[in-house]
Amino acid sequence: MLSARSTSTPAGDVARADVAVVGAGPIGLAVAWRCAARGLRVTVHDPAPGSGASAVAAGMLAPVSEAYFGERDLTGLLVESAGRWPAFAAELTEATGVGLGYRTDGTLLVGLTADDLAEARRLWAYQQELDLPVTPLRPSELRDREPALAPRVRGGAFAATDHQVDPRLLVPALRTAAERAGVVLVRGPVRALSDLDATVTVVAAGCGAAALTGLPVRPVKGQVLRLRAPGGGTPGFRHVIRGYADGEQVYLVPRAGGEVVVGATVEERRDTDVSAGAVLRLLRAAVDLLPELAEYDLIETAAGLRPGTPDNAPILGPLPGRPDVLAATGHHRHGIVLTPVTADLIADLVTTGVPDPLLAPFRPDRFTGPSGSVAADRGEPARTSEEDPWN
């Protein structure tokens, strides 16, 4: 489609980009970085770079513990992208000199009560059927790995390959890498694709993709807390912990600097208000699993909007009838883990015009009828916030 040699623009048309990326979150910045590395002239458009879902994301790289029933294609892509993460992190750190908080301690999966454990085991059995590495642990093995767990935690398992990165380090690093590679960041909203002057447009605008493309991307609210270990210490646990606690699901993500991310609600809502009830439920579940968290400072409460899709999987590839407009959106719970594979595959598609077979299950036209229009019953209709009577 585009090659570095084909990038010359008509005389006087210096502003024209080969690739315009809408959205300066991790997906948009990584796509831009990869495209610039292929010799293309790239702009990224965003009124507030890095202010979307990634601003509150915990950064779990969790292809195993987020392998849910009925999502096999998505799980395959998660595994593929998680496998690319070590090299991606190393390359990004080399390009910027910035550490990303990439940690490979692994993830403990735990159940507080017998009922919680029964629910968790059902999912672990499914994950094992997919040959994903989930290792059941005896209670003593669980405590050997993480002595800070509450004595009443009934049991658990270990997902050694589920790692973590800090999105608040990742996004600035991607921006630095992209800008060093020649990407131009344009701070401003894109109200319509026709506003952009580029050979190819990549829509990586998270929930904003709906209004721009008509694709069925809807906000899925997540409320998230941040705690800090007392006295400037490090958290008293090292694994990511994902637990069922009296029917609540919670994850606890420790950072080297002393922060612990506690998440997250999953709500079919489009506001970013933080509710007392959600804070209460998250904290209760967190402290039930790890009692020492009651002594930590509560330093932040926040809510973000995941870009959800009707099948929970991302939308990657050309819009129906628009080979010049590529979607890279709808990453829902998985934006951080899917960043490397999305960036590689979309940059390859931009430069070769040939979609990698890995993209096949995620094509935008899976949601369209024969006419190419988005099927009305597959997702929330696209609306701008101004038009939305419920907003």
Residue 103 interacts with ligand GLY (CB under 6 A): yes or no: no
Q: How many residues bind ligand GLY (CB under 6 A)?
A: 7
d(CA 155, CA 135): 12
Please report, as a single letter, which amino acid is at residue 143.
R
Residue type, 171: V
Comparison of 204 and 253: residue with beta carbon closer to ligand GLY: 253
Query: By C-alpha distance, which of 67, 88, 85, 84 is closest to 76?
Result: 67
List 121, 239, 306, 331, residue binding ligand GLY (CB under 6 A): 306
Q: Does 222 bind ligand GLY (CB under 6 A)?
A: yes
Q: How far is the CB of 206 from ligand GLY (least distance, A)?
A: 13
Find the residue with minimal CB distance to ligand GLY. Answer: 333
Q: Cβ closer to ligand GLY: 42 or 262? A: 262
CB of 35 to ligand GLY, least distance (A): 26
Residue number with CB closer to ligand GLY (60 or 149): 60
Assess contact for 237 and 273: CB atoms under 8 A: no
264 within 8 A of 223, measured Cβ to Cβ: yes
Q: In what order do the strands lie in the sheet with 155-159?
A: 135-137, 155-159, 107-111, 240-245, 248-254, 259-263, 218-228, 297-308
Interface pick for ligand GLY out of 56, 60, 227, 250 (rule CB under 6 A): 60
Q: Is 315 in the site for ligand GLY (CB under 6 A)?
A: no
In the complex, minimum distance from the CB of residue 333 to ligand GLY, in angstroms, rounded to a whole number: 3
CA distance 152 to 112: 7
56 binds ligand GLY (CB under 6 A): no
Among 264, 283, 290, 374, binds ligand GLY (CB under 6 A): 264
Tell whether residue 333 is a contact of ligand GLY (CB under 6 A).
yes
The nearest distance, CB 296 to ligand GLY, in angstroms, is: 20
Buried-exposed string 172-206: b where 16+ CB fall within 10 A, e elsewhere: bbbbbbbbebebbbbeeebeebeebebbbbbbbbb
Shortest Cβ distance from residue 162 to ligand GLY (Å)? Answer: 11
Q: Find the binder of ligand GLY among 167, 208, 263, 308 (CB under 6 A).
A: 263
Helix extents (H) in 238-387: 276-289, 339-352
Local structure of 53: helix, strand or coil: helix
- Total number of residues shown for the chain: 391
Nearer to ligand GLY, 281 or 306 (CB): 306
Please give the residue ranges that form the binding site for ligand GLY (CB under 6 A).
58, 60, 222, 263-264, 306, 333
